[in-house]
Amino acid sequence: MGRMATEEYKLEQDRVNWVVSQIKAKIQSVSAEYDKAHAEMKLVQQNYSANTSVNYIEVDDRIETSAELQQQRALASRLIENESIIKSQLETYETLQQSPYFGRIDISDPGEAETEQLYIGTASLTDNDENFLVYDWRAPISSIYYNGTLGEVSYETPAGQQTTELKKKRQFLIQNGHIESMFDTNETVGDEMLQHVLGQQNDETMQNIVATIQREQNDIIRDTRSDLLVVQGVAGSGKTSAILQRIAFLLYHSRKELEADQIVLFSPNKLFSHYISDVLPSLGERNMRQVTLAEFLSQRLQGLNVETLFDRYEQSVDLSAEQQAVRDFQESATYMAAINDYCQQLKPADFQFNAILFDGRVFFSREEIEAIYQKLPDVHPAERFLRTKNVLIKRLKRRIASEAKAKWVSDTIDQLSDEAYHDLLGGKRRHDFQQLDDEVAFIARKIVTRRLRTVYDAIYNNYFLDPYRQYSAFMAQLKLPASVSSSTFAERRQAFNDAIEFHNCPLVDAAPLLYLRDLLTGGGQNFAMKHLFVDEMQDYSIAQLQYLHQAFPKAHMTFLGDSQQALFRSVQRPEDLLNELKAAFNVHRPRLLKLNRSYRSTYPITTFAKALLPDGNDIEAFNRDGDVPKILISADEAAAIKSINRELTRATATQGTAAILTKDLDQAHDVYQKLRHLRQDVTLLTDTDRSLPKGVLVLPVYLAKGLEFDTVICWNVSETNFNDDRLLGTLYTMASRAMHDLVIVSIGAASPLITKRELPVGSLQIEHELSN
């Protein structure tokens, strides 16, 4: 290990130069190709717009033109696709030109005398004879680079397992075509390169980590077997990074069967979505779909305001022990199982059917709908519901047919303008009808159908079932476990009813309610989604995860989280969690992986952060130098603001990112208002923000989930402000956002969460400030 002899270095730089020259040549030829494709595209577009301006007087002409137009359109879209393929190729070459590769492995296959040298980069590159100059990091052979120590190694290929001998492993840092550093290592991926990468300053968006993926991370990235992969990883261990590289890997691995939009990631907030948005494009892949749980639930509960996790966190009213027990119950798999049982056994008379109204009058009465349901055979509830729907539509059609004979309809027809009449004829023509009467009857049905559109929509959208009343009825008949008091549960049910009255839906009820609705009406399932990722899974209840599984029944699941970062929730052992999920999901190949090494923060920061936790010993700090975290005890708020300002001036002098994290939004507002008078570069972030502006940011901790900053200042971790054990996860999340510097501010005595812990000597620097 260590820096290499100059001669070796020169040889490698020569190779880099040679590869770069090959890339340059490729860029030239592809650019020419691109220009050609672009010109072709332009031509078709011009042609297309010339064609679209032809006049439409002759009806038969119109048909011909539209066939021609369709052809043109197809041609145009093929050209657009072609152009975008060439463009992304060009982009790949341009990235490779800066840094063609980051690794080299020397291998010798059994029985062969020769040693082969393979270079590994973010994308593959071949010369004109199809020889690999650079291997894609996701190629089967590249796994050796991440997994193998020197000596005999094996790797998976589509043709089965192969073995080879790994003779050398070399890492490079190449920038602008220049080798900045290079190391030989016999470890998986050596620490020196990692030191170098991690020591750098934070960017506005996350970077890919392909050059330095660690062995445990590689296991997550390349797992293609598991149908449920649960990752418990400590703060800063690379969970989010692993998700993104895994997606890139899967897209490569199943190039033919998998598209980026068949992958969905549930992310903690919008800032986070923006933060990670560059990683996949930097690897030449399209981004997956991203959604927050709140967005997903609200979209499915249209017309209701679904309480967000943040709303709930903000109002974290101290729940009584009984209320907590009710919440735990409602978030459990048992509760979801009870819903399933209820739906399977629901008697027709217990269905909460709604009458369908038209113009304020009953069109289909409750009794009629119930009678239809009652008469149907006792099949699966969703199936029976669907058949009910079909009967209703049939009856609607019959009523339309008879209503079409009504006098008001013929009166309406008499008064139709020619234009309106033709409009109603739609695609039909005069000679489509045998007699004029038929045509008039057709128009009459059209008129009535249009008028009764709202009835049709109501049937189509399942409005004849009231899922809210049904859910409430479910709660009313539920047999409660011993831990739950019936009066507290009755209060909870009342709270749900009241919320619905005001078009609100409590978060705890959203997933169970949707589950019930989907089971009874047979909707809400997306069979096209092939992979479901959940980041920060500790903020989801089992019930919510179970609903996601129900909503994406065909998706492989990868759930990642850190139980220690739970906000206002008790910590659960990952093994228990996996077992619970396994039972609830009925999966075949579950797997639990752990990441214990933390890369984000310096050694002193991780050492301090882990000391806060009762089970912090599992956390392994990555060895990177830095200052010891500091706690500033101020006498009052004004003094605290002043000292923050001083710290910020120091922190921003180095161009780094700095964030002040608060317990909740109110405090973020407050700090922002005070600080704004002292400096111009401060921004307050709220949950509608989608990007991270430059300068100093003030934000509540839950919006900082998954993010990182060079300097973090934790606001007012005092005895009074952090006086609850349940805030430990909050404090730990705050502290673990810091990459290089961590400052904790406390007005008055510090929180017992810090003072009661036996912190290792010298792990925290304490400064008392007197008021002035």
Ligand X SMILES: Nc1ncnc2c1ncn2[C@@H]1O[C@H](COP(=O)(O)OP(=O)(O)OP(=O)(O)O)[C@@H](O)[C@H]1O
**CB nearer to ligand X: pick between 194 and 714:** 194
**CB nearer to ligand X: pick between 492 and 663:** 663
**Measured from the CB of residue 562, what is the shortest distance to ligand X in angstroms?**
5
**Measured from the CB of residue 757, what is the shortest distance to ligand X in angstroms?**
20
Residues in the chain: 772
**CB nearer to ligand X: pick between 492 and 600:** 600
**Measured from the CB of residue 236, what is the shortest distance to ligand X in angstroms?**
4
* Annotated binding-site residue? 238: yes
Query: Which position has the token pair 């619970």?
Result: 580
**Measured from the CB of residue 488, what is the shortest distance to ligand X in angstroms?**
34
Residue-by-residue DSSP string for 422-465:
HHHHTT--GGGSSSHHHHHHHHHHHHHHHHTHHHHHHHHTTTTB
Give the burial class of 80: count Cβ atoms within 10 A of its Cβ; 0-12 exposed, 13-18 middle, 19 or more buried: middle
**CB nearer to ligand X: pick between 104 and 600:** 600
**Measured from the CB of residue 266, what is the shortest distance to ligand X in angstroms?**
14
**Measured from the CB of residue 566, what is the shortest distance to ligand X in angstroms?**
11
**CB nearer to ligand X: pick between 171 and 212:** 212
Q: Judge contact between 162 and 110, C-beta under 8 A.
A: no
B/e letters for 426-464, b = 16+ CB within 10 Å, e = fewer, are eeeeeeeeeeeeebebbbbbbbbbebbeebbebbeebbb
* Annotated binding-site residue? 121: no
**Measured from the CB of residue 510, what is the shortest distance to ligand X in angstroms?**
25
**Measured from the CB of residue 272, what is the shortest distance to ligand X in angstroms?**
9
Q: How far apart, in whole angstroms, are the C-alpha atoms of residue 235 and residue 614? A: 15
Which residue's beta carbon is nearest to the bound ligand X? 238
* Annotated binding-site residue? 239: yes
**CB nearer to ligand X: pick between 206 and 639:** 206
**CB nearer to ligand X: pick between 212 and 292:** 212
Q: How far apart, in whole angstroms, are the C-alpha atoms of residue 339 and residue 519? A: 9
φ and ψ at residue 218, rounded to 5 degrees: -60, -35
* Annotated binding-site residue? 236: yes
Contacts of 105 (CB under 8 A, 6+ apart): 117, 118, 120, 141, 144, 145, 166, 168, 169, 170
**CB nearer to ligand X: pick between 148 and 706:** 706
Gyration radius of the chain's alpha carbons: 32
**CB nearer to ligand X: pick between 76 and 197:** 197
* Annotated binding-site residue? 642: no
CA 16 to chain centre: 37
Residue-by-residue DSSP string for 705-748:
TT--EEEEEE---BTTTS--GGGHHHHHHHHTTEEEEEEEEEES
**Among 559, 570, 566, which residue's Cα sits nearest to residue 532?**
559
Residues in touch with ligand X (CB under 6 A): 194, 197-198, 207, 209, 212-214, 217, 233, 235-241, 562, 599-600, 706, 708, 736
**CB nearer to ligand X: pick between 268 and 381:** 268
**Measured from the CB of residue 179, what is the shortest distance to ligand X in angstroms?**
19
Q: In the sheet where 738-747 sits, what is the strand order?
A: 682-684, 696-700, 658-662, 709-714, 738-747, 630-634, 765-768
**CB nearer to ligand X: pick between 44 and 704:** 704
Q: Judge contact between 330 and 509, C-beta under 8 A.
A: yes
**Measured from the CB of residue 322, what is the shortest distance to ligand X in angstroms?**
32
Q: Judge contact between 274 and 280, C-beta under 8 A.
A: no
* Annotated binding-site residue? 571: no
Vertex 469: Cα angle to 468 and 470 (nearest 5)? 90
Q: What's the one-letter identity of residue 287? A: N
Q: Judge contact between 184 and 170, C-beta under 8 A.
A: yes
Alpha carbons within 13 A on the beta-carbon side of 322: 10
CA distances from 577 to 156, 185, 571 (A): 30, 37, 10
The beta strand positions in 480-530, using DSSP E, are: 504-505
**Measured from the CB of residue 559, what is the shortest distance to ligand X in angstroms?**
13
Contacts of 255 (CB under 8 A, 6+ apart): none
* Annotated binding-site residue? 237: yes
* Annotated binding-site residue? 524: no
Binding residues for ATP: 233-240
Residue list for the binding site: 233-240
